[in-house]
Structure 1
Amino acid sequence: MLHLRKIALFLAVVFCISLAGCSADAPQSKAAGSIDQTAVYRQNSASQQTQNLAKLCKVWGYAKYYHPAFLLGTSDWDAELLSLLSKASACETSDDVNALLHEWFTSLGEIDYKARIPKAASGSDASVSEADLSWTADADYLGEALVGDLAKLPTMLPTNLDRTHAPVFFDSLGVPDFSNEPEHGSDYTDPDFRLLGLFRLWNALDYYAPYLHLLDCDWDAVLLEAIPTMLDGTDRESYEAALASVTGELQDAHVWWSSTVEGTKLSYRSNPGEYYLPVPVSDVGGQLVVTGTADNCPLEKGDVLVSIDGETIDELAAEKKPYYSLPREDMLLTNAWRAIVNSETETMEVVVQRGGEECSFSVTGSEHSVSHTKSVLNGLDAFQVVGGNIGVLNPGVLESETELCNAMEELRNTDALIIDLRQYSGVIGLYFYIPTSYQPAIVVAKPNAATPGTFTKDPISCGYDSSLLTYSQSYYPYEKPVVILMDKNSVSRSEYLITILKQADNVTVIGEASTGADGNVAFLPLPGELQLQFTSFGIYEMDGAQTQCTGIQPDVAVHYTAERIREGRDEIMEAALDRLRRS
């Protein structure tokens, strides 16, 4: 059993950015006296140009993460790409671009990592390859000379490589850190600038996104489609939209775009208005239903939204869909609700279905959206004991492991326990109350620093163990019946905990399937003062099953209805209480 603090640290989702900088000189996007690159990009056939640029993207990305010139910081990876873009675009044939890349690769210098290279290549049963690197050995695609060049790079990098100035290094948990990526001036009319952003994004995800094998799309095809889209635009919004179209294919609910400049909003935004419905809403069976009330607002609990400002909810959802990276289609309303209830005018014309009839209301908007999950937590205690001596734990209210221990001590003598993980848990140590006899475990797939594009799976044992008493007298095995509550709002850390807890024989999961987005997140800075958040760890059950995209399925399915919401009832909680009182 690992030390409690180490486990908690390892499993916590990381939401911080290292401030380490790149020591290389800032790259110049234009050489003095350079040709009109916009004209170069337009003069060739789109198909040949796109193929040339896609090949450049892939070869540059492979060198970026494998070649010592970049890993040791002796060459500026962005400057090298910028020097090649217009040349590659101007190549008339595949042979021409292959020759260009061969000459460029040779110019990077000797392959010396200043560290010992392991003799054995990676590839154990515990590894998952996400980046398809078979193209690096395809002479029909790259030509014999370039294939020979790439073969000079080892398949396994030194584990003690000095990554101080590398394009990616790894924090103490193993999360990839891209803070050495340089910023650039924002010239959205410059095709070089635009392609630099696209190529940085596509390669970072190709090598460090853990679930590419689950995607419904072909990842190479995403690149081929994004290149002409990126080149067609000349402004900030089209640049951001082209990048978002790539991450939209990840099916990753952790994907989140933001500006690196505090107070600056994205130009490409799902919610451009300044006002929102002043009441919380939730996805109930594929409809947005009002779940709370607000002063001076005519909307009531259980109202089903039909339209806002003349557009139906289905129409609004379809408009907002391109902005989101959805684990699956039925998650659109859950993810996009905030954008759907957004308006550019303070007075919103809202049509709802109430009691079988459609009703129209003028609603004064709020400057802030109202989260259903957060509104539920308002006023909740960390725990309570209800009829039948059943404890109810609200992890979303807890702020520390000490608070968890205190709450569980108070619940020690209850006859059964409900853990409400429809909330985002503020603590990670819930699984320390699972008795040792159940031996729950989970598999974490972390990026393998020695083989970019590969993730190494490691099982992590969880659950109560008497050795924990060395660190805290508060932990104990809760061996009486436990019910976990779950719905579409259960995501990330909550899903992680459910995956572990549900392995115990005394635990039953009740509710709806969870979101399907689990694993520590990484942050990637992009040219144009942008930052992307995405999942960087894979999470698997011991039998190899994953919850990404699919969500966790409950043992007992219970769904919300607008009718019960109108009555102020919580159907999932009621089902849990009924089950425990009958057990």
Structure 2
Amino acid sequence: MKKITLFFLLIFSQISFGQAKITENEKLIATCKVWGFLKYYHPKVANGDFNWDNQLLENLPKIEKAQTKAEFSLVLENWIDDLGAIKEIAPIIPSKDVEYFDKNFDLSWINSNKLFSKKLSKKLKFIEKNRFQTNEEIGPGYNPFKNGNYFDLKYDNKNSKILWLFAYWNLVEYFFPYKYIMDQKWDITLEKALPLILDAKNDDDFYKATRKISAKLDDSHVELAVYKNNKFEASRRYFPANCKIIDNKMVVTEILADSLAQAYNLKVGDVITKIDDKTIPEFISEYRDLYAASNEPALLGKVVRKILTGNEDNVNVEFLKDGHYETKAMTWFNYHDSHRNEFKKGARKKKEKFKVLDNNIGYVDMGILKSANVPDMIEALKSTKAIVFDMRNYPQGTYDDIAKFLNAHEEKFVIYTYPDFNYPGKFYWTEGTNCGSENKDNYKGKVIVLLNEESISQSEWTAMCFQTAGNTTIIGSQTAGADGNVTELDFKLFHTRYSGIGVYYPDKRETQRIGIVPDIEVKPTIKGIQEGKDEVLDRALVFIETRI
């Protein structure tokens, strides 16, 4: 009796599967995963034997016609069969020297997807076990689009938009090292992104959708630049100063064009509350879903840069001064305006690469110090009791030269995870990078590193290097939380990127999203800026003298 019941249940489940209806979104989401999987796993597809983009475009009409789960699975099964037989090479035995990082890896959908027939799941599982293998060395700077061309996409064409989404989503799915620490699961992003892409009516709609998708990477390295006539947009207008958001207000921190600032009585410390009647919190809320950032300080930095640029010449800016609100009608200027030269001149006011402060304390501006300047810097500061390395900027590749001066021994300061192209989705640990050398005459004074949200990538990486000196103190606030190299992605009329390798301390502590954690946290205040203070540097000088 039990056998008869089981038999009828099996027959019923097969009939139910064959008749079950399927929505367009369900079909496209499942197709995206299968297409991407075959792109990187199927030996012939990954080898470049097929124009895989065209294969998708040719099969989308068949997928659209499928009305049931059984019909849908059959389309995919036939597609796989048409690619030809796969040589059985399983089991693929991993090298004993490889230590895998598996937090991004998940192919469970092959067996758990309710849209797939058992036959389809079995075919996909066979491909995983007998996947594409390569001897090519894959590392930073690899070209993930070697088997695709995305310059001819038509963003007003449904299938072209689908192709772009599939290509981008699968790149992140298999080769973005930090998928596992996104706030929103990447599968959910696909579900939400699909209608955004399909509903895009024009280029602007499409670019806004892509911003929303890329923002979900939660990676400060991610940018999206739109081209016009193969150049970046050239009609931008600029506020004549740099600013920082503090307590939901925007405060002027640096004047970039003196004459323009004088024309509007603009000074460091001025507080801005509105731009064209929109408050700073409203800007933050609007841009939160459009700009990728590893953490809140990095997001606010991107929001500021967006607020301070626009396409309009005339802008109303509301200031808060002495408890009173005052709106000024300002004129902002573009790159090609004569005032733009003054912007550049103001932004590049001559700064000292290094100097000796009071009480025999050295100071180094890491944003402008170059390798050629390091010997002179060492000679000038070697007898100081402490050196402050200001990395609230982007260093110029001087880490190793300076580390040989600071360190008594060679030390490993960072290790990486690289994508494994022989098992896409998996990453593997690398040996990492050392800095310093054997040096009995190394610097014996205190080493202070200043960091903030402007410290990104090489700044964070260099700070990790300097921490190996053993007498290093980090002072400041949370960094941008995006270390390592970037993978650059060019599409038709726009460009984007993401962090390409994982960066960790030698003990495997994470840096992505966390950044470099300060030993002493100090954040600028509006009052301090108005008084002309550098509160972070001031705190460093107090620490040097008191150790507290």
Partner of 1:568: 532
Any gaps of 5 or more consecutive residues in structure 1? 1-44, 163-168, 267-271, 470-474
Instruction: Report how many aligned residue pairs link the two structures.
Output: 516
Partner of 1:497: 462
1:143 aligns with 2:110: no
Partner of 1:478: 443
1:412 aligns with 2:376: no
Percent identical pairs in the alignment equals 27
- What is the RMSD computed on CA atoms of the aligned residues? 3.1
State how far apart, in whole Å, the 1-side matches of 2:274 and 2:215 are.
Answer: 26
- Secondary structure, counterpart of 2:429 in structure 1: strand
The 8 Å contact of residues 254 and 534 in structure 1, kept in 2 or not, is answered as yes
State how far apart, in whole Å, the 1-side matches of 2:61 and 2:112 are.
Answer: 24
Partner of 1:34: none
Structure 1 residues 188 and 463 mapped into 2: Cα distance closer, same or farther (>3 Å)?
A: closer
State how far apart, in whole Å, the 2-side matches of 1:46 and 1:75 are.
Answer: 31
Per-residue Cα deviation, 1:399-436 (whole angstroms, up to 9, x for no partner): 4x333344234322222111011011111424334424
- Secondary structure, counterpart of 1:432 in structure 2: helix
Structure 1 residues 504 and 126 mapped into 2: Cα distance closer, same or farther (>3 Å)?
A: farther
Partner of 1:165: none
Q: CA deviation at 1:512?
A: 0.9
- The 5 A counterparts of 1:127-276 are 127-138=101-112, 140-155=114-129, 160-161=134-135, 170=138, 173=140, 175-259=142-226, 263-265=230-232, 274-276=236-238
Partner of 1:7: none
Partner of 2:404: 432
- The 5 A counterparts of 1:276-355 are 276-293=238-255, 294-295=258-259, 296-355=263-322
TM-score, normalization by structure 1 = 0.81
Residue identity opposite 1:170 in structure 2: I
State how far apart, in whole Å, the 1-side matches of 2:290 and 2:178 are.
Answer: 20
- The 5 A counterparts of 1:544-555 are 544-555=508-519
Moved more, 303-312 or 87-96: 87-96
Structure 1 residues 422 and 151 mapped into 2: Cα distance closer, same or farther (>3 Å)?
A: same
Partner of 1:29: none
Q: CA deviation at 1:373?
A: 13
The 8 Å contact of residues 69 and 108 in structure 1, kept in 2 or not, is answered as yes
Residue identity opposite 1:513 in structure 2: Q
State how far apart, in whole Å, the 2-side matches of 1:374 and 1:145 are.
Answer: 67
Moved more, 82-91 or 50-59: 82-91
1:458 aligns with 2:448: no
Which residue of the other structure, out of 63, 82, 91, is the alignment partner of 1:88?
Answer: 63
Partner of 1:402: 372
The 8 Å contact of residues 46 and 132 in structure 2, kept in 1 or not, is answered as no
State how far apart, in whole Å, the 1-side matches of 2:459 and 2:343 are.
Answer: 16
Residue identity opposite 1:71 in structure 2: A
State how far apart, in whole Å, the 2-side matches of 1:137 and 1:476 are.
Answer: 61
- Secondary structure, counterpart of 2:126 in structure 1: coil
Structure 1 residues 486 and 103 mapped into 2: Cα distance closer, same or farther (>3 Å)?
A: same
The 8 Å contact of residues 38 and 46 in structure 2, kept in 1 or not, is answered as no
Per-residue Cα deviation, 1:87-118 (whole angstroms, up to 9, x for no partner): 212221222211111110111112259xx888
The 8 Å contact of residues 390 and 414 in structure 1, kept in 2 or not, is answered as yes
Moved more, 390-399 or 277-286: 277-286
Which residue of the other structure, out of 480, 487, 505, is the alignment partner of 1:522?
Answer: 487
Q: CA deviation at 1:224?
A: 1.3
Residue identity opposite 1:103 in structure 2: N
Residue identity opposite 2:125 in structure 1: A
Q: CA deviation at 1:355?
A: 3.2
Moved more, 176-185 or 190-199: 176-185
TM-score, normalization by structure 2 = 0.86
State how far apart, in whole Å, the 1-side matches of 2:239 and 2:29 are.
Answer: 44
The 8 Å contact of residues 352 and 360 in structure 1, kept in 2 or not, is answered as yes
Q: CA deviation at 1:440?
A: 4.5
State how far apart, in whole Å, the 2-side matches of 1:161 and 1:257 are.
Answer: 33
State how far apart, in whole Å, the 1-side matches of 2:246 and 2:344 are.
Answer: 13
Structure 1 residues 71 and 496 mapped into 2: Cα distance closer, same or farther (>3 Å)?
A: same
Moved more, 312-321 or 297-306: 312-321
The 8 Å contact of residues 415 and 504 in structure 2, kept in 1 or not, is answered as yes
Q: Pick the structure with greater CA Rg.
A: 2
The 8 Å contact of residues 480 and 515 in structure 2, kept in 1 or not, is answered as yes
Residue identity opposite 2:458 in structure 1: R
Partner of 2:5: none
